[in-house]
Structure 1
Amino acid sequence: MSQVILKAENISKQYRLGTVGTGTLSHDLNRWWHRLRGKEDPYLKVGSVNDRSTEADSDYVWALQDINFEVQQGEVLGIIGKNGAGKSTLLKILSRVTSPTTGEIKTRGRIASLLEVGTGFHPELTGRENIYLNGAILGMTKKEIRAKEAEIIDFSGCARYVDTPVKRYSSGMRVRLAFAVAAFLEPDILVIDEVLAVGDAEFQKKAIGKMQDISKGEGRTVLFVSHNMAAVKSLCTRGIVLEHGKTVFEGGTDDAVDFYLNETKDKSKSYLSNRIEANENYIKSIKIVTSKNGFHEFNKDLKVEITIHCAEKIQEPAVSYQIINNDNIPLIHELVLYNEQNFGENNGVYKLSSLIKNIKLYEGEYGLNVFFADNFSKITYDRLFEVCHFEIINSDKRPYYWQKGSAIYKENDTEWFIYKIDKNNVK
């Protein structure tokens, strides 16, 4: 029978912008006077919503506000949201790195956390010494740590450097060792922030597999923060979506990911830059031409129009785009180079039109990642992610032998057309 191993009750965290603490003697005295009389902290009644994109209208901001949830033993909880939504603040509170302004965290057992690259490591100590230091912090005996030492070193892949001070490790090596220490020292609750992205693909796969073993095989609990929606879906059993420090959705993993992606996507089928710099190379606009207004029919031609601004002659200009699915995974990558189509030979505006004939994508929502670079110098001038979303419909026309969820049936038949635009006519 499952048991509640972690419970968050009315968790809120308030910060004062620009300074540490209240920042003024008058505020400190005011708080002390209210506390002396048994009154509520007067500054808990003020503060703006934690929206990093807007200017502050108060000296105080709520990084988290009224967060409530329970986690069962053996459950893997995914916490997702935009940058600045409060995810890392919540994990720091759960890990006892900082305390909540209001509310209470109730836990059972040991908590091991991996919040930032190298968190908890002493840079002057060797990797092996840090293993024992972290184990001691978790309350383990030297004998218990020694029993796990070989497994930790082997999993991290840092055997050659384990007796070298960690200040000489790369960020990837520190993450490898830190994750191995957190995972193998048998915590009851493992808290993982967005740090696995620093590791390579092979280690990320190992780490996700280990977290699955921890939760399913060993019955331990994992709290996982990531912007990789595919990893969240494959690992987590439940999800929470945070926005501006508040819980906006809690439920099944697939539903949580779909809610987050639908809320954060720009639904526009086109993109227009607000940049007007005459001396920069950048992507000026993008447009998707679908077969129907707002939708694209299965097996119909799809056109992608990309306008670039060249401030100077580019040696070997290259423009490419990826069609990504709802999990932000690229399915199709189209590229045009200068040696294939002449463009960017002098300054001005160029419109690149890419026509994919009879595109066969399974029904659902898709978007674009777009890149503009110089293939000669390897300089990337501009890159855009998750723009120009469109939806594929009528996938019932697919061949009967397609499996549900198939992405693409065959190689694309794509044509590129380049037009030089008279810059005097461009607004």
Structure 2
Amino acid sequence: MVKFTRGRMPLRNIVAGLGIALAAAPVTVATTASARTADPSASSEIANFYRARGGASLWFAPNSGNAAPALIQLLATAQADRLNPKNYNVRGLTRALADARSGNPAARQRAELLFSQEFVSYVRDSRHDPQIGIVYVDRELKPAPPSAIEVLNSAAQAPSLADYVQQIGWMNPIYAKLRQAIASRLYRNPAQYQVLQLNLERARALPAGNGRYVIVNPPAARLYMYEDGRVVDSMRVVAGRPDLIAQTPMMNAFIRYVALNPYWHAPEDIAARKLAPNVLKRGRAYLNEKGYEILSSWDNPKVIDPMSVDWKAVVAGREKVIMRQKPGPANSMGKMKFMFPNGQGIWLHDTPEREKIEDAGRLESNGCVRLEDAARFARWLFNGHPPSVKGARPEQKVNLPVPVPVYLTYLTAVPSGSSIVYFDDFYGKDRAQGRQMATR
């Protein structure tokens, strides 16, 4: 990717790169209050873009519609993106558009290049890591500014350039609708405005484009399956509890495989608080009924005699115990779990505890995400041909045909039609992120 430092690119340099002479006097592009340093590499990429298309117009082509005025409107309201509109030469673009409409070929050419320049700058400024504590398990899923040529090629390939600009097609649809709500002042008070801004930053880390991906939103307690930029299916989920150690983290990763007949490895705090007291009361009978095994270690696990453990010390917190639940009807993972290997030990999984799916709050897990219908989710992931279990062997690994991105986000403001639905800030992230933004 070519590094692009936002800068004012001399139009004459770009035109010279195209091998086209300007028919009028040299154009001086007005610098803004925050003047930018020119970037020769971006200038060269823009020139290469037009050279590759034989100099054909992007912004003033017969099928471009009102793309140019739509871009001006977008840049004039860049404050909605927490960007400075003065960085995008809105006045210069407005004058250039009027000159281009006069019919002067040279004026139209100058306007064409100016619009591409400011469009590239704006898109690149929009696409960045919001730096709000998202875990990027796979670095490819971390948002980063695209190159100038990528920006322009994507715009040129859109079925409608005007729609692409108006719908902010280089960002996720959730981002676009939250931004529209901010720019149109569709909020009731300053507190609601701040919530929209906080969620807009989270939405920066969501994908653009038409690929297949999954979004999990704990505040809404739902999972969404996307194809071609739209939701094709969704289901209820149970996400992590509000207490700090059990919250489902914000995370971007690739779902790489499904594990059939999974084990459940009980977190140490759950083993001490919930499981060990039952062992004290019922002994081996409880362990056999629930299918628990006691392991010697995580690194080289060997099943040991449960009666060799000082369970009173475990309950009191003086000792730790490693408990594993074998596959079966009582297993907390259900029949399958969907893996995107990460250091936090988070995944999506089936559940035998249907009553928790029916609960209105559905924030009762230890951080992982329980699915309403794991089998249906597997069918979608495997394009209608989900894997089947082979015998009783635990942890049967089946790779996905193609890894599918999953975005564990935290949206307390979600677009719904022409309105915004607000959810409770169960994890306190709105408050914490609001304080962080205030200090920047």
Give the helix-richer structure, 1 or 2.
2
TM-score (norm 2): 0.23
Normalised TM-score (structure 1): 0.23
Report which structure shows greater RCO (CA 8 Å, sep ≥6).
2
Q: Higher Cα Rg: structure 1 or 2?
A: 2
Structure with the higher strand share, 1 or 2: 1
